[in-house]
Amino acid sequence: MTDLRFCGIQTARFLAELAEKWNASLVIAHTSVSGLPKIELEEAESIFNEAVCPNINYRYLLLNMLDKNNQENTLEVMVGQMKADLLVLVNQHFHFNTIIKQYFKDNCARYKPAPLLIFPS
């Protein structure tokens, strides 16, 4: 999960290499950073297609737009609906605190438990 304006290309490349071993999809889940304007779908797709995809070069790379107004259900969407097998965060203040609070309040246990991989900032 990231704000596409701050997508960590090196981290995404590493994850693409990992996903490639299993022919797995890699989903970049976008939600705008608090305090910044929301990115509309067309703009997000443009950033994704022009700045993210060419720098990662993985054919199973997908974009998912998360509802910024519904951050309380982020884990439900990512684990319960999108069926994520692994959640990945970078230890930054952007979305990290929100997801960690949800994850450790046993919200993840309601669904198929998903491991959490945390990259240092």
| 29 within 8 A of 4, measured Cβ to Cβ | no
Reported pTM: 0.80
The count of other CB atoms within 10 Å of the CB of residue 121 is 10
Query: What's the rounded Cα separation, in Å, for the pair 11 and 39?
Result: 22
Class of 4-119 in CATH? alpha beta
* Tens-digit pLDDT profile for residues 46-105: 999 999 999 999 999 999 988 655 555 677 777 778 888 888 888 876 667 777 776 666
The count of other CB atoms within 10 Å of the CB of residue 49 is 11
